[in-house]
């Protein structure tokens, strides 16, 4: 029996990969995520040196050298993030500005530092000065980094309606983030986590829907559904093979994209800054993680979300019996909730993030929680587990629906 099931699986697997739409989808997805989203982003429109144009596409094609120069510049400041570290970074940037060293100043970490200044020392911002704070703020006044961060975080939670036990749960989680934070040049990591991997699931959903929505409905479209039902391996055996094929394809696509992103990351960023705290990206983040841990989480989130989404897609495919309808419904699962969320209560908006590939791995930089049985659970934990469970629960229903043949 196991041999028959393996043969069925490989037969369905080969059948899936032989389809031209699947090959084109994989190629386009890889090109968009890895070539444009990773390689060209690092080398050109995200980290290329400024050329005077108003958009990133006007940047120079020199991201590799800019990254190396930026890492070399911040290396003397790397280590524990203290008041003195920020003061030195601000003081050195202001020196370059006074001396007209504009090209050199672009290699500094001024964008990250300026975000810290606005978040933690808002009273020092001059509303009459159109420049960023790092240009004019007095470095000597940049003191009390961690005390100010705690105060800013508590104020943010209160303003966000997160008080009482929810606030306590978040602050308890925040205590696990070791202090002082580790500092390094992390702009490249920020682009990687917030844009490249953060958007990977949304892009994958489109191509997974195109590739997997005809898995069951295609049999009805090609008028082979009833023929399949009459074979000795029909009904449940065929259905299980198709389900396993869909899961395998989701994993294969995720692994392919992950490998491409990692190759681009190692070439452009190397391993420099892997142990820096995620608070370098967002100072008010409560995640007790460094950059490498955050990257592992986001890749796991995308992989598990893809498996969950594959389960949902195949249930829709088994129920729809029409290729076009199946595709539209599959796309609606991912792309309608973000549009509809703005018209729904906040609780419903958060619940929609639990739909496979609707939420984002970048939630680890936020303070969102879910209330379960009177306890507050940090949203990244549920975003990792619930989508894949939802997809797994859909799979038996897909098998049953296909086996009934109606």
pLDDT score at 123? 96
Query: Do 280 and 116 contact (CB within 8 A), yes or no?
Result: no
Angle between helices 200-212 and 236-268 (to 10 degrees): 150
Q: Per mean pLDDT, which range of 21-25, 38-42, 49-53, 260-264 is the poorest?
A: 49-53
Domain ranges of the chain: 3-45+187-404, 75-183
- pTM score over 0.85: yes
pLDDT tens digit sequence for 324-350: 999 999 999 999 999 998 899 988 999
Confidence of residue 28 (pLDDT cuts 50, 70, 90): very high
Mean pLDDT across the chain, nearest whole number?
Answer: 93
pLDDT tens digit sequence for 133-184: 999 999 999 999 999 999 999 999 999 999 999 999 999 999 999 899 999 9
147: Cβ contacts below 8 Å, ≥ 6 apart: none
Whole-number Å distance between alpha carbons of 201 and 392:
18
pLDDT tens digit sequence for 41-96: 999 999 999 876 556 678 999 999 999 999 999 999 999 999 999 999 999 999 99
Q: Can you read off the two tokens belonging to residue 100?
A: 């007209």
Dihedral sign for Cα atoms in the order 236, 241, 244, 250: negative
Query: Do 111 and 105 contact (CB within 8 A), yes or no?
Result: no
Name the 3-class secondary structure at 275: coil
pLDDT score at 377? 97
Beta bridge partners of 377: 370
Percent of the chain with pLDDT over 90: 85
DSSP per residue, 336-348: HHHHHGGGS-HHH
174: Cβ contacts below 8 Å, ≥ 6 apart: 153, 286, 288
Residue 4 scores a pLDDT above 80:
no
Whole-number Å distance between alpha carbons of 116 and 139:
13
Helices (H), 180-278: 187-191, 200-212, 214-221, 225-230, 236-268
Query: Do 283 and 177 contact (CB within 8 A), yes or no?
Result: no
Residue 225 scores a pLDDT above 60:
no
Q: Can you read off the two tokens belonging to residue 194?
A: 């917030």
pLDDT score at 230? 47
pLDDT score at 218? 85
């Amino acid at each position: 029996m196991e041999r028959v099931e393996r043969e069925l699986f490989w037969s369905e697997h080969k059948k899936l990969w032989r389809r031209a739409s699947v090959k084109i989808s994989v190629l386009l997805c890889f090109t968009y995520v890895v070539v444009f989203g990773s390689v060209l982003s690092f080398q050109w429109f995200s980290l290329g040196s400024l050329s005077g144009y108003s958009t990133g596409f006007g940047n120079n094609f020199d991201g590799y050298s800019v990254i190396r120069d930026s890492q070399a510049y911040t290396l003397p400041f790397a280590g524990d993030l203290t008041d003195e570290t920020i003061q030195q970074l601000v003081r050195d940037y202001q020196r370059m500005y006074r001396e007209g060293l504009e090209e050199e100043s672009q290699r500094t970490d001024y964008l990250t530092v300026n975000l810290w200044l606005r978040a933690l020392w808002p009273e020092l911002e001059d509303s009459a000065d159109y420049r960023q704070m790092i240009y004019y703020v007095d470095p000597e006044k940049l003191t009390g980094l961690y005390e100010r961060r705690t105060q800013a975080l508590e104020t943010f939670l209160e303003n966000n309606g997160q008080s009482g036990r929810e606030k306590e749960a978040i602050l308890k989680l925040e205590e696990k983030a070791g202090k002082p934070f580790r500092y390094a040049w992390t702009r490249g990591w920020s682009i990687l986590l917030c844009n490249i991997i953060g958007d990977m699931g949304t892009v994958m959903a489109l191509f997974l829907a195109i590739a997997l929505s005809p898995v069951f409905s295609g049999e009805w479209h090609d008028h082979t559904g009833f023929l399949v039902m009459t074979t000795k391996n029909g009904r449940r055996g065929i259905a299980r093979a198709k389900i396993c094929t869909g899961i395998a394809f989701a994993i294969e696509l995720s692994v392919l994209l992950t490998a491409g992103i990692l190759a681009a990351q190692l070439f452009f960023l190397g391993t420099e800054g892997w142990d820096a705290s995620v608070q370098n990206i967002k100072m008010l983040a409560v995640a007790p993680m460094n950059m490498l841990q955050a990257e592992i989480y986001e890749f796991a989130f995308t992989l598990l979300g893809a498996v969950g989404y594959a389960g949902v897609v195949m249930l829709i495919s088994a129920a729809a019996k029409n290729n076009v309808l199946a595709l539209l419904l599959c796309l609606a699962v991912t792309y309608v909730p973000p549009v509809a969320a703005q018209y729904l209560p906040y609780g419903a908006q958060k619940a929609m993030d639990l739909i496979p590939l609707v939420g984002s791995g970048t939630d680890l930089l936020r303070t969102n929680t879910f209330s379960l049985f009177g306890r507050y659970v940090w949203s990244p934990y549920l975003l990792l587990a619930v989508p894949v469970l939802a997809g797994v629960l859909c799979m038996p229903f897909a098998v049953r629906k296909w086996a009934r043949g109606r």
